[in-house]
Amino acid sequence: MTALSGVPDEALRTLGGLLRERGYRFVTPTPATHARVNGRSRNERGRSVEDVLGWSRPFGREAIPEQVFVLLQSAGQLEQANGLWRSRIRASTIGDELFFHSAFPTTGADAVFFGPDTYRFCTAIEHHLRGLKAPVKRVADIGCGSGAGGIIIARALPEARVVMGDINEAALRLAKINVEISGLQNIEVVKSDLMKNMPGEFDMVVANPPYLRDPLQRTYRHGGGELGERLSLDIIEAAIDRLAPGGTLLLYTGSAIREGEDLFGAAAAAKLEEAGIAYEYRELDPDVFGEELEHAPYDRIDRIAVVQLTARKPEHA
């Protein structure tokens, strides 16, 4: 049974609405920053809703409003140890949007990720949307996780239909709840391996897949292949076949750089050029997850970069 099995969704929906009414704000940092901040003196215990639902700190019942406590308890999202409580979920915000996701640390195989990559991904989406020249009627978000990308798109494009898919049941549950909290009506959430349960063509496909080689093969972290590139390459193949004429793919992912060579970039370019797809490719951050370089398979890699691939299918074959 996963941590989210049997969760009364209504309690979480109500809690999400309450947090938005309270003006709740929390930006989720990297795990390293999270651990450092929580390790400071006076941060051993939570003293506010943000401490409890943002920083994942243990807390006494008096630290948060009774209504928040009762809703968390009704949702099955509280655990108790050493006389203190802890929330199994976190709540983060992007602008006015609120997203439930897994508590820190995200060690579970089915953990629902949210962090700096999510913010960069959504920023890339916003820039992409500003440059669109043709109407967008259908959008696919592959591996939607918490639903952040799809919800940002659906808010910006109210006339578009957004289909969000994932293989992680925990992610699907929270994505559906996050959609309901948003109040948006133009989103459908489906269980789908890549685009298998997303029929038809799409004017826009977005994805922020895991891009590391994870020894534990956690769904939100393991990209497969030699260096975590396999899932990103599979997404390119799937999107090429399902983009409508003139449709675009926005892929936010990572690439291992070895002796100056961008290994994922080279493989992606070969696939797109063979298919006659025009694309743009750039680094968004030259150095992330540096701690991975201390052990195999990254102990022979110079750095891991965050990259953005934007591809556009020709208007006419």
- Whole-number pLDDT of residue 317: 58
Nearest to 229 by CA among 210, 203, 204, 207: 210
- DSSP symbols for 54-73: TS---B-GGGS-HHHHHHHH
d(CA 88, CA 66): 17
- Whole-number pLDDT of residue 133: 83
This prediction has a pTM of 0.93
CATH topology of domain 116-312: Rossmann fold (3.40.50)
Cα 307 off chain centre by: 15
- Whole-number pLDDT of residue 25: 98
Q: Name the 3-class secondary structure at 166.
A: strand
- Whole-number pLDDT of residue 5: 41
- Whole-number pLDDT of residue 221: 73
Q: Tokens 């140890």, residue?
A: 81
- Ranges of the chain with pLDDT below 70: 1-7, 317
Cα 286 off chain centre by: 20
3-state secondary structure string across 218-279: CCCCECCCCCCCHHHHHHHHHHHHHEEEEEEEEEEEEEEEECCEEHHHHHHHHHHHHCCCEE
- Write out the two tokens for 182: 């948003």
Nearest to 290 by CA among 28, 31, 76, 45: 31
- Whole-number pLDDT of residue 300: 94
Domains of the chain, residue spans: 9-102, 116-312
**Contact (Cβ atoms closer than 8 angstroms) between residue 233 and residue 266:** no
